[in-house]
Each structure stands twice: as structure tokens, then as C-alpha cells.
Amino acid sequence: MTPQVAILCSDTLQAQGLAAMLSNYFGIEATIAAPESNEVGDCGLYLVDAGTYASRPAFFLPRRGRTVIITDTPAAAPDCICSRQPLEDWLELLQRRIDGLSNVAAAAPSELSQRERDVLTLVASGLSNKAIADRLCISVNTVLTHRKNIVAKLGIRSISGLSLYALMHGYTIEH
Amino acid sequence: MLLITPETRIADTVIAHPEIITVLNRFGIDLGLGDNTLAGLCRVTDVNPEFLATILNTFLNRDYFPESRLRSFDISLIVRYLMMANNSYAHFHLPTIERHFGMMLAKDNGANNNLALMFGFFKELQAEIAGRIEDDSRLLAETKPLSHSQVQAMHNADALIEDKLLDLLTMMVKHLSGDYDRRLCQAVIMGIVGLRHDVVNNNRLRVRLLYPSIQAQSKI
């Protein structure tokens, strides 16, 4: 999923340049907002100049982990980057932040829960959703939710693919 | 985005994107391209250069699908191209993956049961693709009218093959365990990636051009 990025800079050229960089190199369409704007929604990343950051501590401090501060002079802090840094430094910093956002989004546990393993075992044995629901004494909607989670966790969509995974991991019905 | 035109010197593009060799081969264009433009090569092989450029562009650019331009070509060109693609799945892509998979299994000598299970999945998928190619041969050769439900079934079969190719890839990349020959495994993965790219691209042609055209015919 594309992360939401907001740019709050008093320098119009700087804001437009950052937006162009995000669009050209990362395919991200960032939102440019006025520095004093209160209408910036909850974003994954905020790019903000030092003046704006300092003027709105109540807004930015709780979002510090998601904020990159642009300074006019070289800064050593990890959350800061100097506007005069070369392009490759900017791209690396942005890539790291974007990767970080993706990793947070994907941080859901990838191991199947016991219930999901039960559902997978029954899917692999060819049972319908209704039959699985009856066997496990749960609703069909719950079965569908488990199946959706299984697909998301394993990255496998087809029934025969799920059956193969179940076989590989020894999830089979014990008669 | 890279766009090829009939005036493009095609060797430069192939060096940057060798995956288009498969498409060029389907149109009878072989390596040893020299400094020829696409139009020059098409003159020799009697291929419509505008059509080939459009097919190459849709093949290279996932987000590029010039539907009205593609509709401007005779549907028989699309049909012939899809038949050529089927031919290369049957005689090049699938046998190549099968050969590498087989070599990987032979080297492993049955020690890694996961590989044998994945090979079984591949064989099942191979049979499904072969079945679809047979269906295509009947459908595309006769271009006989199809009902909405028949088209929907073909559409579903296309999507299932895409899903299974991705499943096999995911299985190998995320869930493979035990010992295996790395180079052969990489060759299998590259083969699946290439085949899937081709299938996904050609499914766009099928779903957005071929099936609507067949349905339109059936309404006449």
C-alpha cells in the first residue's frame, strides 16, 4: 500500500521539489499543505522544514518518529536532513523511511494461529466453507475471515497452492 | 517509460530489456539485429511494424495499455499473436522450467520432499496451461460465438493460472526449506517469473480485446 506523505514547508519551491522527488523516484503522490494547516490528516510520513517544526511542537512531537526535519545547515540528528545534501542522500533517507513504513504495515505475525491451521487443514482436504464452519462450530463468515488471513500471511491464493503448503507442513486430517 | 516506435533501433532496446527477445522471436525476428530499426526488421519478416511496436510496448510497460490503438488493428492479428504466445509456452517456457526442475530433483536424489511436492504442483499447473492452450486452439481457430458464462469461465481460468504461477513463485521464495541446488533453483524461478509476466500481459489482451470481440460477434 502506498504510504501517505505530507509536506509542510514555507518555501514553495522546496515543497514542490520534494513532491516531484517523491513522485518521480517512488511513485508517491504527496500532499503539500500550508505550514500552519490543521487539516493534514494522519500520515505515515511528514516532511517539514525546521521553522514549521519548531512552531508547532504540539502537532509534531507526538509524530516525531514519522517526521523528517529539513534544515538549512548540516545536522547530525537522524531525523534531520540538510536541504543542501546531494540527491543520493535524500533518496536514501526517503527510501529508508518508506521501507520502514512498509515494514510496519507488514508487521502482522506471519505464522498461522492454531485456528487458521485448522481451517487450512480442512481447506486442503477439499471441504467447502459451510462444511468447515460446521466442523469447527463457527460461522461461515468467520471461516472466510480466517481464509483471508491465511492468504495474506502465506501469500498463496489458490486452493491447490494452499493444499501444497498444508502437505509441506504436515497439516493433514488425522482419521 | 520506454516506448518503442517503428523507427527505434531495436538492438539498443534488447540490450536494455532482453525479455523482449521472446516476443521478437514469435514474430520471426532473431538475434543478429545489427543497427536495424524495428520497421526495417519487420519489412524482412513481413510483420506490421505498428502492431509489433504496440505489442512490445504493452509487454514492456505494465501500466501501458493503449486500448483504442490495439482495437484499431484487425482482431486476427491479436489472435495470431496469442496463438504464437501459446506455442512458446508449450514448446519453450514450460519445457525449460520442467527441465531445470527435473535436474534440481535429480541432483537432490529425493532428499528434499518439498521439492518433489512443488514439482507436482508445477506439473499440475503445466497440465492446466496445456488444457487452456487446447481450448484456445478451438476457440481462436474457429472464433465461434461464446455465451457470457463461457467467457466468464475462460476469464476465471486465466486468473487461476496467474494465481497459481504466483503461488508457485511465492512457495519457492518464501516457503522452500531444506537443501537444493541454488543455481538450478534460480533458473526455475527466473523461468516462472518470465512465464508469469508473459501470461499476465497476454491475459490483458484476452480480457480487454479478445473476449469482448468474440462476445460482440455472437451478438451479430
**H helices, E strands: number in chain A:** 8, 5
**Closest B-chain CA to A151:** B167
- How many Å apart are CA B4 and CA A169, to the nearest integer? 47
A24 Cβ under 8 Å from any chain B Cβ: no
- Asked if A12 and A44 sit in the same domain, the reply is yes
Host H or E run for residue A46? strand A45-49
Which residue of chain B is at minimal alpha-carbon distance from A164? B117
Taking residues A28-34, report their average pLDDT.
89
Burial class (CB in 10 A: 0-12, 13-18, 19+), B147: exposed
Residue A20 lies in a domain: yes
A101 and A120 in one domain? no
Domain that holds residue A121: 114-168
Cβ distance of A158 and B167 shorter than 8 Å: yes
What does the pLDDT read at residue A79?
83
Give the residue on B whose Cα is nearest the Cα of A170: B114
- Burial label for A103, CB within 10 Å (0-12, 13-18, 19+), is exposed
A 110-169 residues with CB below 8 A of B?
Answer: 154-158, 160-161, 164-165, 167-168
Q: Which residues of A touch B160 (CB under 8 A)?
A: 158
Asked whether residue A76 falls in the same domain as residue A131, the answer is no
Opening angle at CA B72, ends B51 and B56, nearest 5: 25
pLDDT higher than 50, residue B83:
yes
Do A164 and B163 lie within an 8 Å CB cutoff? no
Q: How many residue pairs from chains A and B have C-beta atoms closer than 8 A?
A: 43
Q: What is the pLDDT of residues A43-83, one digit of tens each?
A: 889 999 999 999 988 888 888 888 999 998 887 777 888 99
H/E stretch holding A99: helix A87-105
CA distance A166 to chain B (A): 11
d(CA B190, nearest CA chain A) in Å:
19
**Cβ count near B158 (within 10 Å):** 19
A130 and A83 co-located in one domain: no
Mean pLDDT over residues B96-111, rounded? 90
Q: Is residue A87 assigned to a domain?
A: yes
Please give the pLDDT value at position A122. 93
How far apart CA A164 and CA B169 sit, in angstroms, is: 13
Q: What is the distance between the alpha carbons of residues B116 and B99, in angstroms, rounded to a whole number?
A: 14
Residue of A nearest to B159 (CA): A158
Only one residue has cell 525479455, namely B19
Residue A124 lies in a domain: yes
Tally of structural domains, chain A: 2
Tens of pLDDT, residues A74-133: 877 778 889 988 888 888 888 888 887 766 555 455 688 999 999 999 999 889 999 999
A17 three-state secondary structure: helix
Model pLDDT, residue B220: 46
Identify whether residues A79 and A125 lie together within a single domain.
Answer: no
Tell whether A175 is covered by a domain. no
Between A107-111, B157-161, B170-174, the lowest mean confidence (pLDDT) is in A107-111
Confirm whether A173 is domain-assigned. Answer: no
Determine the residue among B121, B158, B169 to mutate to test chain A binding: the one whose Cβ has the most chain A Cβ atoms within 10 Å.
Answer: B121
Give the best residue of A24, A111, A157, A167 to mutate against chain B (max B CB count within 10 A).
A157
Please list every residue in chain B whose beta carbon sits closer than 8 Å to the beta carbon of residue A157: 163, 166-167
**Domain match, A79 and A38 both:** yes
Q: What is the pLDDT of residue A77?
A: 79
A34 and A101 within one domain: yes
Q: Could you read off the pLDDT of B178-220 as tens digits, one per residue?
A: 889 999 999 999 999 999 999 999 999 999 998 888 777 765 4
A65 and A86 in a common domain: yes
pLDDT for residue A42: 79
Query: Is pLDDT of A41 > 90?
Result: no
Higher per-residue confidence, B151 vs B193: B193
ipTM: 0.82
Tell me the CATH number at A147: 1.10.10.10
Q: Which residues of B touch A172 (CB under 8 A)?
A: none
Kindly state whether residue A73 falls inside one of the protein's structural domains.
yes
The predicted pLDDT at position A102 comes to: 65
Instruction: Assess contact for A66 and A46: CB atoms under 8 A.
Output: yes
Residues A91 and A129 in one domain: no
Q: What average pLDDT score do residues A141-163 get?
A: 93
B180: chain A residues, CB-CB within 8 Å? none
Do A121 and A89 fall into the same domain?
no
Give domain status of residue A18, yes or no.
yes
pLDDT value at residue B31: 96
Q: What is the mean predicted confidence (pLDDT) over B4-18?
A: 94
Say how far apart CA A107 and CA B110 lie, in whole Å.
36
Integer Cα distance of A79 and A95 in angstroms: 14
Looking at the partner chain, which of B124, B163, B171 has a beta carbon nearest the beta carbon of A165?
B171
A9 and A77 in one domain?
Answer: yes
Together in a domain, A95 and A53: yes
Distance CA A173, CA A175 (A): 6
For residue A171, what pLDDT is reported?
Answer: 86
A18 closest CA partner among A59, A56, A47: A47
Comparing CA positions, the residue from B170, B8, B92 lying closest to residue B17 is B8
> In this structure, what CATH number is given to the domain that contains residue A60?
3.40.50.2300
Q: What average pLDDT does this structure show over B120-128? A: 96
Interface of B with A (CB under 8 A): 113-114, 117-118, 120-121, 124, 160, 163-164, 166-168, 170-171, 174-175, 177
Complete DSSP assignment for A115-146: HHHHHHHHHHTT--HHHHHHHHT--HHHHHHH
**Backbone torsion region of residue A27, taken as left when φ is above 0, otherwise alpha when ψ lies between -120 and 50, otherwise beta:** left
**Helices A114-124, A129-136: crossing angle, 10 deg rounding:** 130
